Amino acid sequence: MTSELDVDAVVLVGGKGTRLRPLTLSAPKPMLPTAGVPFLTHLLSRIRAAGIRHVVLGTSYRAEVFEEHFGDGASLGLELEYVVEDEPLDTGGAIRNVADRLRADHAVIFNGDILSGADLRALVQTHRDTNADVTLHLQRVEDPSRFGSVPTDADGRVTAFLEKTPDPPTDQINAGCYVFRRTVLEAIPAGRRVSVERETFPGLLENGAHLHGFVDASYWLDVGTPEAFVRGSADLVRGLAPTSALPGPAGESLVLEGADVAADATVTGGSTVAAGSHVASGARIDGAVLFDRVSVAENAVVENSVLGVGARVGKGAVLKGVVLGDGATVGAGCELLDGARVWPDATLADGSIRFSSDA
């Protein structure tokens, strides 16, 4: 049994998930089915496995959905509390907004759309050992020019927060996970929008606070886009991303109870086929996520795509890199490629061809 860590966890799940529309029209991004369970379940499982028990969820968009599903957290071995933002407060404001629910002297803050393999116990221990005011999880990435970078000195102290640049001085980026000393967290201005990246962290540095970097190169993925969401789900199914919430053994596919896959259909690449879904003869599903009650007809191809609840794919249709909203129908012989999105309950006639467009 993992020993308990005397810290709170705060998970920020208030975003609207606009980059994942139309899927997030019906559910908040952290509640989208990912490798068989809501995405947030995987993060909560890691928090509990690290020995953290008390978790506060900072919610806003569709706030009621979280409590309806997770309740008090007992089923996950957690104590969950919920705080709702009445208006958007940005990351820093959202952190400050939950301050009165904290119990411990330190809190680990998580962005609710990050899939990470960082060692949470080591992160907290580094924070304690260095007596830091804030410890930031800094991820090493191959192409840091896509992000702002966070250099550290020889002792691991953060020295700057740099905007995106074509030639950054370090491969370390802000990974969206922090350990705050509670007194530092409580000093964030209350009741207004505050950016930790642009206001809180630079202000702390300027005032001589100790901001420490926990540098890591393990699995890390922001699942905010359809492409990343599909990859994250597939990586969880295949055991490449850490979780103890996978509802089945890791492998090339996850076919949930109540799903029906024809004997000569293929489901590979870490695909998930959810309850009530049907994959017909000759169909090929590769690296895709099928929500509940999806129907894929004979000889259809679905690759690297997300199909919302009740979506239907006609005979011989080809979907590659596509998002179908709940209840959408794609007719026989249709071809959808390269980021095409079909809105909920829309119908595409047989033989339609779409590239990177909404329908």
72-129 pLDDT, tens digit per residue, is: 999 999 999 999 888 888 889 999 999 999 999 999 999 988 999 999 999 999 999 9
Helix (H, G, I), strand (E, B) or coil at 201: helix
Q: Could you give phi then psi for residue 148, rounded to 5 degrees?
A: -70, 150
244-301 pLDDT, tens per residue?
Answer: 899 989 899 999 999 999 999 999 999 999 999 999 999 999 999 999 999 999 999 9
- Residue 144: cis peptide before it, omega within 30 degrees of 0: no
Q: Do residues 174 and 147 lie in contact, with contact meaning Cβ atoms separated by under 8 Å?
A: yes
Task: Report the Cα 3 to chain-centroid distance in Å.
Answer: 26
Token couple for 137: 């999880």
Q: Is 100 left (phi over 0), alpha (psi -120 to 50) or beta?
A: alpha
Class of domain 252-355: mainly beta
Token couple for 340: 């095409």
8-222 folds as Spore Coat Polysaccharide Biosynthesis Protein SpsA; Chain A (3.90.550)
The percentage of the chain sitting over the pLDDT mark of 90, rounded to a whole number, equals: 72
With a cut of 70, say whether residue 354 has pLDDT above it.
no
pLDDT of residue 2: 62
pLDDT of residue 139: 93
What does the alpha-carbon distance between residue 149 and residue 78 come to, in Å, rounded to a whole number?
34
Q: Could you please report the per-residue DSSP string of 314-345?
A: -TT-EEES-EE-TT-EE-TT-EEETT-EE-TT
Comparison of pLDDT for 156 and 112, the residue scoring more: 156
- Segment 321-345 shows an average pLDDT of 93
What does the alpha-carbon distance between residue 70 and residue 66 come to, in Å, rounded to a whole number?
6
Q: Do residues 37 and 272 lie in contact, with contact meaning Cβ atoms separated by under 8 Å?
A: no
Least confident of 194-208, 268-282, 298-312, 341-355: 341-355
Q: Where are the domains of the chain?
A: 8-222, 252-355
Comparison of pLDDT for 346 and 62, the residue scoring more: 346
With a cut of 80, say whether residue 188 has pLDDT above it.
yes
Look at strands 271-273 and 260-261 and give their pairing. unpaired
Could you tell me the pLDDT band of residue 166, with boundaries at 50, 70 and 90? confident
With a cut of 80, say whether residue 239 has pLDDT above it.
yes
pLDDT of residue 356: 61
What does the alpha-carbon distance between residue 123 and residue 54 come to, in Å, rounded to a whole number?
17
Interacting residues of 127 by C-beta distance below 8 A, sequence separation 6+ = 106, 135, 179, 212, 214
Token couple for 217: 């190169």
In 51-146 the beta strands, taken as DSSP E runs, fall at 54-59, 79-84, 106-111, 114-116, 134-140
pLDDT of residue 358: 55
- Segment 200-226 shows an average pLDDT of 93
At 289, the amino acid letter reads V
With a cut of 90, say whether residue 3 has pLDDT above it.
no
pLDDT of residue 148: 86
Q: Where are the alpha helices (DSSP H) in the chain?
A: 39-49, 63-70, 90-97, 120-130, 182-186, 201-206, 226-237
Specify the length of the chain in residues: 359
121-155 pLDDT, tens per residue?
Answer: 999 999 999 999 999 999 999 888 888 899 999 99
What does the alpha-carbon distance between residue 315 and residue 332 come to, in Å, rounded to a whole number?
5
Q: Nearest CA to 29 among 124, 114, 136, 132?
A: 114
Token couple for 44: 């909560």
Token couple for 13: 């799940």
Buried b (16+ CB within 10 A) or exposed e, 273-294: bbebbbbbebbbbbbbbbbbbb
In 141-200 the beta strands, taken as DSSP E runs, fall at 172-181
Q: Could you give phi then psi for residue 201, rounded to 5 degrees?
A: -65, -50
Report the 10 Å Cβ neighbour count for 331: 18
The mean pLDDT of the chain is: 91
Q: Within 13 Å, how many C-alpha atoms sit on residue 261's CB side?
A: 19
